[in-house]
Structure 1
């Protein structure tokens, strides 16, 4: 499958790291994020038709069997005419338009891409850490001034509580980023609503 574009010259960055601008350009479009997610999740190569069906299903929040011909065709045409050629030019995929095959490039296979997507009820990690810092500051000031209820707590107990809380929070943040927000880590992209 890696021999998709034998006669096409390789972009100079095909086997190197992507620049920030190239990554942001490719990931700025939801369809392209869905393409990367699908290829990372399903063995890094497929046909355009199979890819279009899956992307259309995610976009319309429907199982593939319930998609209309129009929904499939709209996504397939956009992928063939615009998104896959752009992704190939940026070095993310290898696209054989004559055969209708798509493969993840070696550079994209080796890279991890993260999407920070908040769903209803999610609190941004930055806001969470600001709250944890504020709580720590209030406890520290309360211990220092000896005001109720902090006067009954030992500084060691407070320190153990906050170190444990920070450790658990950091582990949760790592899990959230690596297993929930990384393209290809779950069955569906981070942006797709749970059905």
Structure 2
């Protein structure tokens, strides 16, 4: 084990490592996939992300520019900090256990926003079916008055709206941002 694997990274070192989007992408990619990757394949992934195009549409120049940057700057910096191991013989990069030192600075598994559109559509469909069952005096539902059914449907929409408001106002702002925005640079 190298000296860098035993030493503790300072907060400034961690912030310096995470200050560059390419290094954040490398760490995020390796964490997400959990297996080593060849430097050329990693450069292709980074270039595709940066240019917001599928890897097949990259130009040789786009790939080469990222490859050189990773090879000369970013991988050595991550290797010196003990975050990755780079085997120059087979060209593979793998995440080291030392990445655990970054855990408190990295977001947990990405939380997904509730599918509000689907919730509203579901509420509308169920509310509509419920109201029709009441209006057509079907067994069990026929005993409920039209006004009461309308109030129940409106109350269901109000409950979903309040839930969305509370989530957006109080829950979502407290979530940590993702390490890398895969949708745009």
* TM-score (structure 2 length as normaliser): 0.59
- Which digits, 9 at most, give the CA deviation of each residue in 1:50-101, with x for residues without a partner? 1111000111111101000111111111111221011100121111122211
- Name the structure 2 match of 1:77: 68
- Name the structure 2 match of 1:10: 2
Q: Determine the C-alpha separation between the residues in 2 that align with 1:82 and 1:29.
A: 11
- Correspondence for 2:22 among 3, 20, 31: 31
Alpha-carbon RMSD across the aligned residues, in angstroms, is: 2.7
Structure 1 residue runs without a partner (length 5+): 1-8, 116-160, 184-188
Deviation of 1:10 after TM superposition, in Å, equals 0.9
Alignment of 1:1-195 (within 5 A): 10-12=2-4, 14=5, 18-109=9-100, 111-112=102-103, 113-114=105-106, 165=166, 169-174=169-174, 176-177=175-176, 181-183=177-179, 189-190=180-181, 192-193=183-184
Deviation of 1:114 after TM superposition, in Å, equals 3.8
Q: How many residues align?
A: 128
Deviation of 1:15 after TM superposition, in Å, equals 5.2
Larger radius of gyration: 2
- Which digits, 9 at most, give the CA deviation of each residue in 1:141-160, with x for residues without a partner? xxxxxxxxxxxxxxxxxxxx
Q: Determine the C-alpha separation between the residues in 2 that align with 1:92 and 1:28.
A: 15
Q: Determine the C-alpha separation between the residues in 2 that align with 1:191 and 1:20.
A: 25
Secondary structure of the corresponding residue to residue 103 of structure 1? strand
- Name the structure 1 match of 2:122: none
Q: Which runs of 4+ in 1 moved over 6 A?
A: none
More helix by share: 2
* TM-score (structure 1 length as normaliser): 0.57
Q: Determine the C-alpha separation between the residues in 2 that align with 1:40 and 1:100.
A: 18
Pair 40,15 (structure 1): closer, same or farther in 2 beyond 3 Å:
farther
Secondary structure of the corresponding residue to residue 193 of structure 1? coil
